[in-house]
Amino acid sequence: MKNMIKKIGIIFGSLLVIGCATTKSAETSSSSSSPKKIEKKGAQVIDWQGSEFGKDIPEWVEYVSENDYARLSQLPEMEDKIPFAVTGTGQDRDLLKIWVNTNDAQAELSKLIKTNVTTSAHAALSGNKDAPGVKKLAESITTIFSNTQFSGFSKARDFWTKVQIPEGGTEYRYYVLYSIEKENLSYQIDVALGKIAAENAEEQELLDKVKEQAKITAMTALGTTQPVK
């Protein structure tokens, strides 16, 4: 969506530091400007969803803001599921709500999973880079996942706040918590890697290693929220 800054929070394993995916962004305003990082420090919340009824900001919103995916994973509805946080910032609350509740947000989640799973798979092969068949496996993995679309995300919760920012003025922040069944994601990874045929026992051993690492990467509760660029 034009004229919006957005960012994706997603769960991956320790190999995520090798390479984090980002997406395009723009500001929600009447005039265009270069992308900026969403800064929460120093911002003061002046309104929020349910404030007129005396309700507080729920703790899960704070977990998303702090990238605390360990606690998000402990929410009751996240049993046997993996949480994914999507957040947006802009001047128009309705536009933010439309973006985070459409397939655009889920497509970004799928893209991030593909990028990070591919990275972890290549890392798993790196220790055997001189072994026969490794280059072919790496190329096959890249091709397979570039053509794979992960699905099965469901929205668990959403929330908005309005904040006074240090630079002056106000902005809305919209938070949405998605999830996917662990078994579902595991199955989709199996299906994708099942399209690669090992030609010998050594290649099969490497492929099994890749599959194991790919699942660890996709399901380890270690969160990172990347500002979009």
Q: What is the pLDDT of residues 178-209, one digit of tens each?
A: 999 989 988 998 898 888 888 888 888 888 88
Question: Count of CB atoms within 10 A of residue 166's CB?
Answer: 11
User: Is the pLDDT confidence value at 164 over 90?
Assistant: yes
Closest Cα partner for 131 from 61, 204, 182?
Answer: 204
If one compares 134 and 34, the residue with the highest pLDDT of the two is: 134
Asked whether the beta carbons of 40 and 7 are under 8 A apart, the reply is no
Q: How confident is the model at residue 125 (pLDDT cuts 50, 70, 90)?
A: confident
Q: How far apart are CA 118 and CA 142, in angstroms?
A: 6
CA angle in degrees (0–180, nearest 5) for 23-24-28: 125
Question: Count of CB atoms within 10 A of residue 79's CB?
Answer: 10
Mean pLDDT across the chain: 74
pLDDT for the residue numbered 159? 95
User: Is the pLDDT confidence value at 222 over 70?
Assistant: no
Q: How confident is the model at residue 41 (pLDDT cuts 50, 70, 90)?
A: low
Secondary structure of residue 60 in the 3-state scheme: helix
If one compares 113 and 225, the residue with the highest pLDDT of the two is: 113
pLDDT for the residue numbered 220? 61
Closest Cα partner for 116 from 5, 7, 224, 228?
Answer: 224
Percent of the chain with pLDDT over 90: 23
pLDDT for the residue numbered 17? 25
The secondary element (H helix, E strand) that includes residue 190 is helix 182-193
The residue to which tokens 């220790």 are assigned: 127
Lowest mean pLDDT among 14-28, 30-44, 202-216: 14-28
pLDDT for the residue numbered 54? 94
Task: Give the predicted TM-score (pTM) of the model.
Answer: 0.69
Q: Which of 114-118, 124-128, 220-224 has the highest mean pLDDT?
A: 114-118
Q: Give tens-digit pLDDT for 42-100.
A: 789 999 999 999 999 999 999 998 888 889 999 999 998 988 888 889 999 998 888 77
- What mean pLDDT comes out for the span 160-169? 90
Write b or e for each residue in 205-227: b if 16 or more Cβ atoms lie within 10 A of its Cβ, otherwise e. ebbeebbebbbebbbbbebbbbb
Q: How far apart are CA 72 and CA 122, in angstroms?
A: 29
- What mean pLDDT comes out for the span 115-125? 79
CA angle in degrees (0–180, nearest 5) for 132-137-142: 150
Q: How far apart are CA 119 and CA 16, in angstroms?
A: 8
Closest Cα partner for 129 from 14, 34, 213, 206?
Answer: 206
CA angle in degrees (0–180, nearest 5) for 190-193-199: 125
| Concatenated DSSP letters of 3-19 | S-EEEEEEE--GGGGG-
If one compares 177 and 227, the residue with the highest pLDDT of the two is: 177
Q: How far apart are CA 192 and CA 212, in angstroms?
A: 13
